[in-house]
């Protein structure tokens, strides 16, 4: 073991080896595609179905305002400490290294596990329903027989794993090729949302009803009748609108993800703000327009009735998709198979983009842990030609494939109902870090570029954002555990989240004591700002 005067007081490398290749536009693409644009078609219908009487347009606006609080916290901190790892770096450098690792570890596991879920959705929510819908529209059993393939577990796992590996292998060629692919997926996903807005916005109500009745075994009027028979609200009201904002929050979540790639972001004082404020604004704007044309063409009673029927498991719900995604309904009400196919392409582009982005940012978190000596240094090895942490990327891809298997063959994915709790805990700690930042890290705060060290009435803006962040995150976490959101409360999934936090603590301290025996002053090292 090294003597005290031989202990290293600096990082193993003077530079990370990563290259700043992420421009403001790429930051926007990264943040927006992680939010999964096509998911607005699902979260809108969930908000209406679970909270009848909700005006999801207003709910989305509320979510956007809440989102700006989180965007402000993360954008300020990512500008002050522009390093890969995001909240891992913020929390560990301001508050406590093991706390920073544990929070970031749990959030990273959640992000990777969703990769498995979305890979499964390629079959169960995109391709399968599309071919079922085409079979109905064309009255052709051939399409229906193809749809059945995508309900076979072996095919679901195989398709998901092949797509995940094929998509993410581009990252081994460098950041630029990966972002070119992400940008293409960005334009496809946004383009199909615009197609929906135009197609539904120009569609007469009577034509929509006639087309729907032609293809659905349950007529349009039957779904609207559910509202009266079940005594559901026929107009908007304040309470449901406020509660339904949780689904709008979920739709918008993920726009702070560029903080995890901070070491590769050019001009962070500009790029991080463009990404974190631009992504939710674009998403919310499109979602509100989409909702407005949907309300106008299909009517609120129909949307309430069909979503309630699906969520309650009523036999009157007969669409060949588990939930009435609005992008699927678009194919029926327009009577146009090309609209159905385009909407599916948009959904697949969204799923592809999430898998690619989640793998990208998760590998950077693993890289950051490793650079801080928490994991073996092999995971921080960067390819000299492409400037990619190859071992970290490969490890995340392997874990992502494992989660595909777990999603299909176990009940593991059910815990996602409770990830709002895990995310809220993370945001609370980031909020506390924001509050403490100007006082515990005065050196970093004072030297940070504007507007990080801006003040209002002598109080740092980041402190005010942190206070708002803690309050709003606690509220979101509370709402996320209400029966209306999670159904019958299942404590075992809350225990699972707690276990994830415990695992994070255990991993950290095992690493800490190993490194300490090797003579590495881990705690001191992890309080320093990592090199670029």
Q: Cis ω on the peptide bond leading into residue 451 (within 30° of 0)?
A: yes
List all residues 6 or more positions away from 411 whose beta carbon is below 8 Å from its beta carbon: none
Q: Dihedral of the CA atoms 436, 441, 445, 448 (nearest 10)?
A: -130
Q: What is the pLDDT along the chain (532 residues), one digit of tens a residue?
A: 333 333 344 555 554 556 678 899 999 999 999 999 999 999 899 889 888 999 999 999 999 999 999 999 999 999 999 888 889 999 999 998 999 999 999 999 888 888 888 899 999 999 999 999 999 999 999 999 999 999 999 999 999 999 999 988 888 888 888 899 999 999 999 999 999 999 999 999 999 999 999 999 999 999 999 998 888 888 888 888 988 888 888 788 889 999 998 888 888 889 999 999 999 999 999 999 999 999 999 999 999 999 999 988 889 999 988 889 999 999 999 999 999 999 999 999 999 999 999 998 998 898 888 888 788 878 878 877 877 888 888 999 999 899 899 888 887 666 666 677 788 899 999 999 999 999 999 999 999 888 899 999 999 999 999 999 999 888 888 777 766 655 666 777 778 888 889 999 999 999 888 888 888 777 777 777 776 6
Q: Are 81 and 444 in contact (CB under 8 A)?
A: yes
Specify the CATH number for the domain of residue 456. Answer: 1.20.1740.10
Write out the two tokens for 335.
């009577």
Of the candidates 320, 301, 313, which has an alpha carbon nearest to the alpha carbon of residue 222? 301
- Answer yes or no: is 531 within a domain: no
- Answer yes or no: is 136 within a domain: yes
Rounded-to-integer distance, Cα 436 and Cα 95, Å: 8
- Ramachandran sector of residue 83 (left: φ over 0; alpha: ψ -120 to 50; beta: rest): beta
Distances (CA, A) of 304 to 1, 31, 87, 234, 243: 68, 31, 39, 8, 16
Half-sphere exposure of 241 (CA within 13 A, CB side): 12
Of the candidates 169, 61, 4, 69, which has an alpha carbon nearest to the alpha carbon of residue 471? 69
Rounded-to-integer distance, Cα 201 and Cα 440, Å: 53
Distances (CA, A) of 516 to 3, 4, 5, 355, 525: 12, 12, 14, 36, 11
Q: Which helix (H) or strand (E) holds 456?
A: strand 455-456
Domain range for residue 434? 4-525
- Answer yes or no: is 237 within a domain: yes
- Answer yes or no: is 530 within a domain: no
Q: Are 311 and 52 in contact (CB under 8 A)?
A: no
The DSSP secondary structure of 465-520, one letter per residue, reads HHHHHHHHHHHHHHHTTSHHHHSS--HHHHHHHHHHHHHHHHHHHHHHHHHHHTT-
Domain count, the chain: 1
Q: Are 372 and 92 in contact (CB under 8 A)?
A: yes
Q: Are 322 and 124 in contact (CB under 8 A)?
A: yes
How many Å separate Cα 196 from the centre of its chain? 22
Write out the two tokens for 175.
């950041």
The DSSP secondary structure of 436-452, one letter per residue, reads HHHHH-HHHHHHSPTTT
> What pLDDT, in 10s, does the model give residues 252-310?
888 999 999 888 888 888 999 999 999 999 999 999 999 999 999 999 999 999 999 99
Rounded-to-integer distance, Cα 230 and Cα 101, Å: 49
- Answer yes or no: is 143 within a domain: yes
Burial call 150-187: b when 16+ CB within 10 Å, e when fewer = beeeeebbebbbebbeebbebbeebbeebbebbbebbe
Percent of the chain with pLDDT over 70: 93
- Answer yes or no: is 478 within a domain: yes
Of the candidates 330, 12, 314, which has an alpha carbon nearest to the alpha carbon of residue 192? 330
Q: Is 324 helix (H, G, I), strand (E, B) or coil?
A: coil
- Answer yes or no: is 121 within a domain: yes
């Amino acid at each position: 073991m090294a003597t005290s005067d031989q202990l290293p007081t600096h990082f193993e490398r003077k530079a990370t080896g990563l290259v700043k290749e992420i421009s403001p536009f790429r930051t926007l693409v990264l943040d927006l595609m992680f939010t999964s644009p096509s998911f607005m078609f699902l979260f809108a219908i969930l908000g209406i179905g679970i909270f009848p009487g909700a005006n999801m347009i207003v709910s989305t606006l509320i979510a956007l305002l809440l989102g700006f609080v989180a965007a402000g916290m993360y954008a300020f901190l990512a500008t002050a400490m522009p390093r890969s790892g995001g909240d891992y770096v913020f929390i560990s450098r301001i508050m406590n290294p093991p706390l920073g690792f544990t929070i970031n570890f749990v959030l990273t596991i959640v992000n990777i596990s969703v990769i498995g879920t979305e890979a499964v959705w390629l079959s169960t929510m995109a391709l399968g329903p599309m071919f079922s819908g085409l079979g109905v529209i064309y009255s052709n059993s051939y399409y229906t027989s193809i749809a059945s393939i995508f309900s076979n577990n072996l095919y679901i796992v195989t398709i998901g794993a092949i797509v995940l590996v094929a998509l993410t292998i581009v990252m081994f060629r460098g950041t630029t090729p990966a972002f070119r692919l992400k940008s293409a997926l960005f334009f496809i996903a946004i383009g199909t949302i615009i197609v929906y807005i135009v197609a539904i916005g120009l569609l007469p109500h009577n034509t929509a009803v006639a087309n729907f009745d032609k293809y659905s075994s349950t007529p349009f009027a039957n779904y609207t009748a559910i509202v009266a028979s079940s005594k559901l609200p026929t107009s908007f009201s304040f309470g449901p609108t406020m509660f339904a904002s949780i689904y709008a929050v979920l739709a918008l979540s993920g726009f702070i993800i560029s903080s995890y790639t901070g070491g590769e972001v050019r001009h962070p004082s500009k790029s991080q703000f463009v990404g974190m404020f631009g992504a939710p604004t674009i998403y919310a704007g499109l979602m509100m327009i989409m909702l407005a044309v949907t309300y106008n063409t299909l009517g609120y009673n129909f949307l309430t009735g069909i979503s309630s029927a699906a969520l309650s498991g009523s036999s009157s719900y007969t669409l060949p998709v588990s939930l009435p995604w609005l992008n699927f309904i678009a194919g029926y009400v327009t009577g146009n198979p090309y609209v159905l196919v385009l909407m599916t392409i948009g959904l697949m582009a969204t799923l592809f983009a999430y898998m690619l982005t989640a793998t990208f940012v998760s590998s950077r978190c693993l890289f950051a842990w490793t650079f801080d000596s928490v994991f073996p240094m092999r995971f921080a090895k960067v390819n000299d030609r492409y400037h990619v942490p190859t071992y970290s990327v490969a490890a995340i891809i392997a874990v992502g494939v494992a989660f595909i298997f777990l999603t299909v063959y176990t009940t593991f994915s059910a815990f996602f109902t409770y990830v709002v709790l895990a995310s809220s805990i993370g945001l609370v700690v980031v909020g506390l870090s924001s509050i403490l930042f100007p006082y515990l890290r005065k050196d970093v705060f004072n030297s940070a570029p504007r507007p990080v060290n801006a003040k209002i009435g002598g109080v740092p803006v980041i402190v005010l954002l942190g206070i708002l962040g803690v309050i709003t995150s606690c509220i979101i976490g509370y709402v996320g555990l209400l029966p209306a959101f999670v159904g019958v409360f299942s404590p075992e999934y809350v225990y699972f989240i707690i276990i994830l936090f415990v695992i994070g603590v255990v991993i950290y301290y095992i690493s800490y004591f190993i490194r300490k025996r090797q003579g590495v002053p881990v705690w001191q090292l992890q309080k320093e700002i990592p090199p670029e």
